[in-house]
């Protein structure tokens, strides 16, 4: 590749019509996660917007897939009883390399980059669709909450008994 120079990338933007979900209502919020996105900003906006729209689509492309999954899991912890449908697809990206001398031809490389789409909804979704999940608050989180409140109560009682 020492005889070539990086040319242009043709990476078309995805639009809402390309999402792999049927029957998205018009007010759905589309959260596009990028590798440089700050998770706190994404989560804050998502928590505010899910109250109004009742559903969101999270999309992560390539290296942003892990961050997208983390955001979805945080949302599921903060908001109980969310319905989820997960889809995996590929996004086509073309890369061009220009030759340094005239004897060589231009090289075109087509890459299929993995894309993760997650639909979160407060309203019930079709449970027969592959990739469907329903998140209920786990017993572990409930137990942790009980332990925290019990510990706080014990500390408060101990402080009250030690007070003059």
The pTM assigned to this predicted structure is: 0.76
Domains of the chain and any CATH numbers: 4-136 (3.30.110.20)
pLDDT tens string 13-40: 888 888 899 888 878 999 999 999 999 9
Q: Measured between alpha carbons, how far is 128 from 111 in angstroms, rounded to an integer?
A: 32
pLDDT at 29: 94
Give the distance, in angstroms, between the CA of residue 35 and the centroid of all CA atoms in the same chain: 11
Q: Measured between alpha carbons, how far is 134 from 80 in angstroms, rounded to an integer?
A: 9
């Amino acid at each position: 590749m020492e005889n070539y120079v990086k040319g242009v990338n043709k990476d078309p933007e995805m639009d809402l019509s390309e999402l792999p979900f049927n029957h998205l209502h018009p007010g759905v919020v589309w959260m596009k996660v990028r590798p440089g996105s700050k998770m706190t900003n994404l989560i804050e906006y998502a928590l505010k917007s899910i109250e109004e729209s009742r559903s969101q689509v999270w999309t992560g492309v390539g290296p942003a897939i892990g961050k997208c999954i983390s955001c979805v899991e945080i949302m599921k912890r903060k908001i109980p009883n969310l319905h989820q449908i997960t889809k995996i697809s590929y996004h086509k990206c073309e890369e061009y390399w220009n030759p340094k001398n005239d004897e060589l031809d231009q090289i075109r490389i087509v890459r299929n980059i993995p894309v993760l789409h997650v639909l979160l909804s407060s309203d019930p979704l079709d449970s027969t669709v592959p990739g469907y999940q329903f998140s209920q608050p786990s017993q572990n989180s409930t137990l942790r909450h009980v332990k925290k409140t019990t510990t706080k109560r014990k500390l408060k009682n101990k402080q009250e008994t030690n007070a003059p």
